[in-house]
Amino acid sequence: MEAADADSAAAMTMARASGDPAAELDAIRARVAALSAPQHRTEWLRLGARTVELAAATGQPIAAVLGRVWRIDASYQLMNLEAVDTEIALIAQLAESTRLPLARWHLLRQQASRAALAGQFATARDRSEEARQLAVRIQDLSGTGMSYAFALSLASIRGDATELQPDFFEVLADAPPIPIIRASRAAALVATGRADEARAVYETLRQLPAAGDRDARTLGSLIQLIDLMIAYRDTSTAQATYDLFHPLADQGGTVGSGLVSLYGSVHWPLGRLAALLGRTEQALDHFASALAVNTRLGARPFVVVTRLDWATTLAGRAAGDDLAQARELARQAAAEARRLDMPGPAGRAERLARELEQGIGAANPLTRREREIAGLISDGLTNRAIADRLVLSERTIEGHVRSTLAKLQLTNRTELAAWALRDAGS
């Protein structure tokens, strides 16, 4: 990669010196290909803007579309959704004015990814299918394949294998067996319940992070494999993947590309990997960062899964008020997943919330009435005042207090008031 970087930089210098705009456009394309890792976002912006200028000068509208695509990916990295939407609108203008199928295809792909990031799955699905049909019509196999890759990303985030096209595996079989295609196959096999076949494919990819490449294809492959790393408890591959992704945490924005699909904040996969590796505090920090980034991005599906993984990690630690916090996160994840029609995460979050509710209930033996009276005692009310408040006899209140003290193994009202305050805080 370093050699390609140096070669493309030299080619850029020569092309600019030549004064030939067509040669400079070719050099820019090569340069962008060499700088496919997210940390080069600032240069993507600059090269994209220069490409748009040269495209106008040379009458190459598709080059202008590509320049705007590069600027979109950079803007996602910079969490600048206003810029993303502006660039998509400008591609729409180009597609309308030129009537070029390829410009329309790029527009549809960007609209699909933008909609999916916001949790607008019906729109995302429709745009991607329209892009697929257009790619078939112009006989662009690579363009067709991106709609299949997008369907897999929807299946993964929604937890619904019916997102996959009926001929998904047939199309994959005809694609070149490069790592990202094999990773897609492994993820799709898991989604469709073919675990043994998935494991066999996964074994051919375990060394992928060891090469240290942070190009878009490698990162995209590994994102798809994290579920399998967790399922197989493959800590060695998880560690190598964590080491590969971690330097990108400071980049701030999304993982993925508007051309294919986006995966929200890089802190989300980092948190999942850290949890698998037993680094709980580190995982919780990543989930907190992921929630902040995904909320800022309006990435509602990734807010859901971040909360769910955060809740699961807290439930596993179960220290202090972890269970109560996990229950709230799980409830929030379940409610939002239902709103967005994410059946997989919704089911998992609902089950986790129920389990946590049962666990918290087992840890607190008091009835609802006893907890209510304990809370009123912590507010400083006497038995008579509590009886008046609840429209009960004072003798009934005294009985509840005695029962509560016995259940909690406390000796007096002062200790009960302190317990009630702690319970309310959890």
The domain that holds 384 is classified in CATH as 1.10.10.10
Please check whether residues 50 and 91 belong to one and the same domain: yes
Please check whether residues 359 and 369 belong to one and the same domain: no
- CA dist., res. 137 & res. 119, Å (int): 28
Please check whether residues 337 and 418 belong to one and the same domain: no
pLDDT at 3 over 60: no
State the distance between the two ends of the chain, measured CA to CA, in whole angstroms.
51
Q: What is the per-residue pLDDT for 409?
A: 82
Closest-CA residue to 400 (of 414, 416, 415): 416
Using CA of residue 61, residue 63, residue 66, residue 68, what is the dihedral sign?
negative
pLDDT tens digits, 346-362: 999 999 999 998 887 66
Q: What is the per-residue pLDDT for 299?
A: 97
- CA dist., res. 110 & res. 137, Å (int): 19
Q: Label residues 24-44 b or e (16+ Cβ within 10 Å = b).
A: bbebbbbbbebbbbbebbeeb
Q: What is the per-residue pLDDT for 4?
A: 56
The length of the chain is: 426
- CA dist., res. 287 & res. 303, Å (int): 10
159 within domain boundaries: no
What the block records as the tokens of 183 is: 């990773």
Please check whether residues 8 and 75 belong to one and the same domain: yes
127 within domain boundaries: no
Mean pLDDT of 5-29: 75
Closest-CA residue to 405 (of 391, 420, 392, 393): 420
Question: Residues with Cβ < 8 Å from 133, sequence gap 6 or more?
Answer: none
pLDDT tens digits, 139-150: 999 999 999 999
Number of neighbouring beta carbons within 10 Å of residue 178: 10
Among residues 40, 65, 99, the one where a domain terminates is 99
What the block records as the tokens of 338 is: 């239902």
Strand ranges for 66-210 from DSSP E: none
Using CA of residue 105, residue 341, residue 294, residue 202, what is the dihedral sign?
negative
pLDDT band at 244 (very low <50, low <70, confident <90, very high): very high
pLDDT tens digits, 386-416: 999 998 899 998 998 998 888 788 889 898 8
Q: Label residues 339-364 b or e (16+ Cβ within 10 Å = b).
A: ebebebbbebbbebbeebeeeeeeee
pLDDT at 274 over 80: yes
Please check whether residues 1 and 95 belong to one and the same domain: yes
Kindly report whether the global pTM for this prediction surpasses the value 0.85: no
What the block records as the tokens of 213 is: 């490449």
- The mean pLDDT value of the chain amounts to 91
Among residues 312, 333, 363, the one where a domain terminates is 363
- CA dist., res. 381 & res. 389, Å (int): 10
Please check whether residues 320 and 377 belong to one and the same domain: no
76 within domain boundaries: yes
Please check whether residues 414 and 337 belong to one and the same domain: no
The helix or strand, by DSSP H or E, that contains position 334, with its residue range, turns out to be helix 322-340
Instruction: List the single range of 42-56, 155-169, 204-218 with lowest mean pLDDT.
Output: 204-218
224 within domain boundaries: no
259 within domain boundaries: no
Pair 38, 76: CB distance under 8 Å: no
Closest-CA residue to 180 (of 247, 260, 246): 260
What the block records as the tokens of 90 is: 């400008």
Closest-CA residue to 86 (of 109, 114, 61, 126): 114
pLDDT at 15 over 70: no
Please check whether residues 392 and 412 belong to one and the same domain: yes
Pair 218, 211: CB distance under 8 Å: yes
pLDDT band at 22 (very low <50, low <70, confident <90, very high): confident
311 within domain boundaries: yes
Percent of the chain with pLDDT over 70: 94
- CA dist., res. 17 & res. 392, Å (int): 92
Among residues 62, 78, 99, the one where a domain terminates is 99
Please check whether residues 30 and 78 belong to one and the same domain: yes
Number of neighbouring beta carbons within 10 Å of residue 132: 23
The domain of 338 spans: 299-363
- CA dist., res. 235 & res. 426, Å (int): 33
Beta bridge partners of 256: 262
Mean pLDDT of 173-178: 92
Please check whether residues 323 and 338 belong to one and the same domain: yes
Residue type at 207 in one-letter notation:
Q
What the block records as the tokens of 261 is: 């699909």
285 within domain boundaries: no
Pair 256, 222: CB distance under 8 Å: no
Q: What is the per-residue pLDDT for 311?
A: 97
Please check whether residues 319 and 385 belong to one and the same domain: no
Q: What is the per-residue pLDDT for 212?
A: 78
254 within domain boundaries: no
pLDDT at 9 over 80: no
Query: What does the DSSP 8-state code read for residue 374?
Result: H
- CA dist., res. 419 & res. 407, Å (int): 12
Number of neighbouring beta carbons within 10 Å of residue 18: 12
Percent of the chain with pLDDT over 90: 69
Pair 305, 294: CB distance under 8 Å: no
Long-range contacts of 276-282 (CB under 8 A, 24+ apart): 276/229, 276/230, 276/233, 276/235, 276/238, 277/235, 277/238, 277/239, 277/242, 280/313, 280/316, 280/317
Please check whether residues 385 and 352 belong to one and the same domain: no
Closest-CA residue to 209 (of 228, 185, 190, 188): 228
pLDDT band at 254 (very low <50, low <70, confident <90, very high): confident
Domain count, the chain: 3
Q: What is the per-residue pLDDT for 406?
A: 85
